[in-house]
A and B are shown apart, each in its own frame.
Chain A
């Protein structure tokens, strides 16, 4: 089996933690607006979990500067590399845009933004009905885009693991505590 350098352990931790959280959020989101009996309970989880994703996304971007990801395999065709790069930019952008649109919508709608008990988020926008509806729609469209990008990402990751077998999947999926720094032949 070929292997590239692993992602740093912190990066892998953040990646899998957020993968679970974001996927859960997408399901919670579409589930709550179609299941009125569960709406309140799901929305009560949705707000704090979404806020946590926003915080983690910021930490993750910072971590990416401090601990850069390993390079993609040298022989990967450049259109494929460009696609990978683009999808990663999209995922990062949406990790920020989706929760910000949700927070902004509730701000514009004049809602109290309850995280838990008496703990609230402050409004980030002035109150405005039309703005509320626009941001609500943006939140929905961006969330669906996030899901579509996630599906492409999932498909690509599994293709790396099962079709290309180039070690890219393992570089994120490894359970090894430390990132091994020596690249094997063919990885670069």
Chain B
């Protein structure tokens, strides 16, 4: 035990002189070590780590700066409507949305890609995002695409794909050498892109079906947990797309067609839940499940009206795929957490930026007042 220091001296320089190097070392090492561990955890000494910030930086490098817009699926239109559950889903999930009752929804139709003013093209991936306001106060958000599988299975794949598909300024097309290097490094992407290409796109937003792609788990009141994927399947029979050259140069033709369609009356989709079997891959969104899996129809989504982003409810919302109600859980798919992180970063950046008008401007609220 150290000798008692005289009171007057124990806070002065004398105290330091009387302290062993060991004791001083402990103080310094504890503080420096904690600071160092914190810097490591926060990625400051490993800046090459694929953080959500770096993923969103890459979107901005590839697409340019478009303040106020989503860093992906930048061009879009809001919708409002409702979902009528039919009670069938209660077998698999205790979430209130699956009861035989009506749930108010709003959502967003969009084109994939970080260019808010890109011209509509049938081949561009189309998306539907939905916010369900459940009767018990919970929220469910989901974003779905009109392709059968996702091209990549993890964050690194996504990051590399973004860079590889950046158009070469000279040709306006992705550099084939970089594309083949990407496909060689991520063999799952080649198989997935072949499946995506094999599914012809439909004419527009209203006759397209949208898929969750990622797997989730439904948890029933009994506690039973089932792997699932889901799809919003159009009630409208799918039409072949109009060739782009057919005298229709309107850069917003897909969105305009949707507006016209909604003005004629509500558009409907069935929410079909694909029930996974043991062995179906849940951690790989590039691989489809066998075609004979049960598809449970759990209710009907009605899109009653559409609004442009400044008017509607969808712009200042993050359709984070992991905002799930009790009764739906994430699967072990690694893309889910990465999406959640990247969407948060995109939302945090764009929410604080000044807004420019969306490419889609509606003259009036198509489909009448919001329900």
A residues with CB within 8 A of B: 1-2, 26-27, 30-41, 43, 75-77, 80, 109-112, 114, 117-118, 120, 127-130, 132-134, 136-137, 147, 151, 154-155, 158-159, 162-166, 186
Contact = CB atoms under 8 A, between A and B. Distances in A.
A44 B338 CA distance: 14
A80 B52 CA distance: 42
B51 interface: yes
A78 B341 CA distance: 47
Contacts of A164: 10-11, 15
Contacts of A159: 27
Given A33-B51, A165-B2, 13 more contacts: A33-B42, A34-B42, A34-B49, A37-B155, A39-B340, A109-B318, A109-B347, A112-B138, A118-B326, A129-B315, A132-B348, A151-B35, A155-B30
Query: Which of A1, A40, A147, A154 counts the most chain B CB atoms within 10 A?
Result: A40
A34 to B, nearest CB: 4
Nearest to B330: A40
A110 B23 CA distance: 51
B323 interface: yes
Given A36-B342, A129-B352, A75 B7 contact: yes
Given A1-B1, A132-B351, A30 B24 contact: no
A50 B105 CA distance: 30
Given A34-B42, A164-B10, A40 B340 contact: yes
A36 B341 contact: yes
B117 interface: no
Nearest to B342: A36
Contacts of B11: 75-77, 80, 164, 166
Contacts, number: 144
Nearest to A128: B316
Given A40-B337, A164-B15, A120 B137 contact: yes
B31 A154 contact: yes
B23 A163 contact: yes
Interface in B296-353: 315-318, 320, 322-323, 325-326, 330, 334, 336-338, 340-342, 344-345, 347-352
A67 B272 CA distance: 60
B330 A30 contact: no
Interface of B: 1-2, 4-5, 7-8, 10-11, 15-16, 19, 23-24, 26-27, 30-31, 34-35, 37-38, 41-43, 49-53, 55, 136-139, 155, 315-318, 320, 322-323, 325-326, 330, 334, 336-338, 340-342, 344-345, 347-352
Contacts of A132: 316, 347-348, 351-352
Contacts of A35: 43, 49, 51
Given A2-B4, A129-B352, A117 B326 contact: yes
Contacts of A75: 7-8, 10-11
27 contacts: A26-B38, A27-B37, A27-B41, A33-B42, A33-B53, A33-B341, A37-B337, A40-B330, A40-B336, A41-B337, A75-B10, A75-B11, A76-B11, A111-B139, A111-B318, A112-B138, A120-B137, A120-B138, A128-B316, A133-B352, A154-B30, A158-B26, A162-B19, A162-B23, A163-B15, A164-B11, A165-B5
